[in-house]
Chains A and B, each alone.
Chain A
């Protein structure tokens, strides 16, 4: 087991190096000169001299690989650069925006888990009946609905029309409901569908027939089916938290939720490159970290995977 974890950890190192390189390269894609952007953002007339001095200050005149090495050293020490707009440290801004996004993603995950498990249960129990068809239709529409449109409709119904919940911002506990529901809608459809099909398949297994023949209660039988079906869905569910966090930017913009996605979208309109870069890096590192964690957890649960990992 230790060997497996060590191997997975070692494999992550080149991946992280690659991620940092791509994040660094992305900032070079910009057609405009960063030094000039900095000068313009601070409302200084961009004369050649001023731009040259700024470039010197930002270290942009050094060769590409030197800049990458400098940047990597800084990132390793937790320094993600400074914002162009107000010269504040990017790391500090990210740290301020992280808790709202985590809070939003956690609430969505909870909502998603409850709804998808519930829907899958109902569908599998009443397979082929009207309820099953109705719910499956609903699930199917859920995968095709644009998230931002669903968000707008929910906002109109619950905030404008009924005035039950706040339209935007983060005041009070109830303000998280609408963004969280909007965010989870797409994922509910995906996981409910996965879980339902898995449960329907497991229902036909011999072990279930045997359990029925032995005279187990319905509740006991369904518990067995559920636990067997969960395994295939667990990997997906484990990855849903980072996926939810990555997908928040649309929802955060609609509901003016002061999280990471909103920070990044505002940075894009301000052409604040260091923030965008830091956002990409953070998300990718989180993604890889969660992936690693899920893999290790799966290996702990299922020893067969460990053997496959070593082969």
Chain B
């Protein structure tokens, strides 16, 4: 709650949060919010200029760009958040097990993580999608496989750091159960760090999902998706360069908002002047 109060005092962080909530809400009510059907083709009306009927114009097949953006948010944001959710679940689960059990279990999990982390994650994602075949579902599977070791290692180190704290030792001596210690003493401390990292990382997941769709490995046409829209815009760039703007700017704004929110959350959790280290995952 204290964190929430501090976050509320960071106006830019709040703006980012509201913006992201609005984007998610728009994507969730896409059937109601979108003025047109995102896949309805109207070739006679292609490359329409910005107007009241089509606020952002139409694309090379006469499809309404605004509606495609809103529906595209469903694909891009939905699958990015799904990826983060699954990764967090697997990563935290294994990290907690490794940090708590130590010994052989810890050793096995961590050696496996080491191997997985020696692959550059972009390459691993590309290769797994390449093997499973194009499709957004496969992009999610590939991203989770490439990302979970990083979260496992981070959660493990956080758990280990907190198990050595005196109050946890005391709780153990006092005869508290494992679950009680975990819930009351470990989780509150660890949760903040995990949330900050996950928020910062969501931006990079969005970038990677849309990049794969841009290459034709994610969403398959005619489904609307931000990266795929840019791929369409690429082919007609010399005649209609303005087609590149809506989807590109949307990705930029959403990713920037996630990054900024992550920074604000970090400041809110740890009010001491923090060093902004680039978190690369």
Contacts of B131 in A (CB 8 A): 26-27, 29-30, 273, 276
Q: CB distance A276 to B122 under 8 Å?
A: no
Contacts of A254 in B (CB 8 A): 234
- Among A160, A264, A279, which residue has its beta carbon within 8 angstroms of that of B238? A160
Q: How many residues of A contact B (CB 8 A)?
A: 57
Q: CB distance A247 to B275 under 8 Å?
A: no
Q: Is A249 an interface residue (CB 8 A)?
A: yes
Contacts of A197 in B (CB 8 A): 275-277
Q: Is B203 an interface residue (CB 8 A)?
A: yes
Q: Is B137 an interface residue (CB 8 A)?
A: no
B interface footprint on A211-230 (CB within 8 Å = 1, 0 otherwise): 00000000000000000000
Contacts of A193 in B (CB 8 A): 276, 278
Q: Is A141 an interface residue (CB 8 A)?
A: yes
Q: CB distance B115 to A149 under 8 Å?
A: no
State A224–B247 Cα separation when bound (angstroms). 45
Q: Is A126 an interface residue (CB 8 A)?
A: no
Q: CB distance A287 to B276 under 8 Å?
A: no
A interface footprint on B109-150 (CB within 8 Å = 1, 0 otherwise): 001101110111011101111111110000000000000000
Q: CB distance B127 to A280 under 8 Å?
A: yes
State A123–B244 Cα separation when bound (angstroms). 32
State A265–B134 Cα separation when bound (angstroms). 11
State A153–B277 Cα separation when bound (angstroms). 29
Q: Is A3 an interface residue (CB 8 A)?
A: no
State how many angstroms separate the Cβ of B258 from the closest Cβ of chain A: 8
B interface footprint on A79-123 (CB within 8 Å = 1, 0 otherwise): 000000000000000000000000000000000000000000000
Chain A binding surface SS class: helix
B interface footprint on A7-36 (CB within 8 Å = 1, 0 otherwise): 000000011001101100011011110000
Question: Known: A146-B211, A268-B217, A276-B130. Contact between A19 and B276, CB under 8 A?
Answer: no
Q: Is B191 an interface residue (CB 8 A)?
A: no
State how many angstroms separate the Cβ of A209 from the closest Cβ of chain B: 19
State how many angstroms separate the Cβ of A284 from the closest Cβ of chain B: 5
- Among B111, B130, B210, B251, which residue has its beta carbon within 8 angstroms of that of A264? B130
Q: Is A296 an interface residue (CB 8 A)?
A: no
Question: Known: A22-B119, A141-B256, A288-B118. Contact between A156 and B241, CB under 8 A?
Answer: yes
Q: CB distance A146 to B251 under 8 Å?
A: yes
Q: How many residues of B contact A (CB 8 A)?
A: 50
Identity of the chain A residue whose Cβ is nearest the Cβ of B257 in the assembled complex: A144
Segment 240-257 of A: residues with Cβ below 8 Å from B: 242-243, 246-247, 249-250, 253-254
Question: Known: A141-B256, A197-B275. Contact between A148 and B214, CB under 8 A?
Answer: yes
Q: CB distance B126 to A149 under 8 Å?
A: no
Q: Is B252 an interface residue (CB 8 A)?
A: yes
Question: Known: A19-B115, A141-B252, A146-B255. Contact between A246 and B122, CB under 8 A?
Answer: yes
Q: CB distance A279 to B127 under 8 Å?
A: yes
Contacts of A273 in B (CB 8 A): 131
State A149–B214 Cα separation when bound (angstroms). 10
A interface footprint on B258-281 (CB within 8 Å = 1, 0 otherwise): 011000000000000001111010
State how many angstroms separate the Cβ of B22 from the closest Cβ of chain A: 17
State A279–B233 Cα separation when bound (angstroms). 29
Contacts of A253 in B (CB 8 A): 215
Q: Is B207 an interface residue (CB 8 A)?
A: yes
Q: Is A143 an interface residue (CB 8 A)?
A: yes
Chain B binding surface SS class: helix
- Among B238, B259, B280, which residue has its beta carbon within 8 angstroms of that of A140? B259
Identity of the chain B residue whose Cβ is nearest the Cβ of A191 in the assembled complex: B278
Q: Is A170 an interface residue (CB 8 A)?
A: no
Q: CB distance B248 to A15 under 8 Å?
A: no
- Among B112, B215, B233, B260, which residue has its beta carbon within 8 angstroms of that of A250? B215
State A130–B237 Cα separation when bound (angstroms). 35
Q: Is B7 an interface residue (CB 8 A)?
A: no
Q: Is B98 an interface residue (CB 8 A)?
A: no
Q: CB distance A29 to B132 under 8 Å?
A: yes
Contacts of A231 in B (CB 8 A): none
- Among B112, B119, B120, B248, which residue has its beta carbon within 8 angstroms of that of A146? B248
State how many angstroms separate the Cβ of B234 from the closest Cβ of chain A: 6
Q: CB distance A284 to B120 under 8 Å?
A: yes
Question: Known: A190-B280, A193-B276. Contact between A284 and B238, CB under 8 A?
Answer: no
State how many angstroms separate the Cβ of B269 from the closest Cβ of chain A: 18
Q: CB distance B115 to A249 under 8 Å?
A: no
Identity of the chain B residue whose Cβ is nearest the Cβ of A20 in the assembled complex: B115
Q: Is A180 an interface residue (CB 8 A)?
A: no
Q: CB distance A153 to B126 under 8 Å?
A: no
Contacts of B276 in A (CB 8 A): 193, 197
Q: Is B197 an interface residue (CB 8 A)?
A: no
Q: Which of A156, A197, A280, A288 gathers the greatest number of chain B CB atoms within 10 Å?
A: A280
Question: Known: A194-B277, A253-B215, A265-B215. Contact between A144 and B120, CB under 8 A?
Answer: no
Q: Which of B127, B238, B253 gathers the greatest number of chain A CB atoms within 10 Å?
A: B127
Q: Is B230 an interface residue (CB 8 A)?
A: yes
Contacts of A183 in B (CB 8 A): none
Q: CB distance A30 to B132 under 8 Å?
A: yes
Q: List 12 A-B contacts (CB under 8 A).
A: A14-B111, A21-B115, A22-B115, A30-B133, A141-B252, A146-B210, A146-B230, A243-B120, A246-B120, A250-B211, A268-B217, A287-B119
List of 9 A-B pairs having minimum Cβ-Cβ separation, nearest first: A18-B115, A246-B120, A268-B130, A144-B256, A149-B248, A144-B255, A29-B131, A280-B127, A190-B278
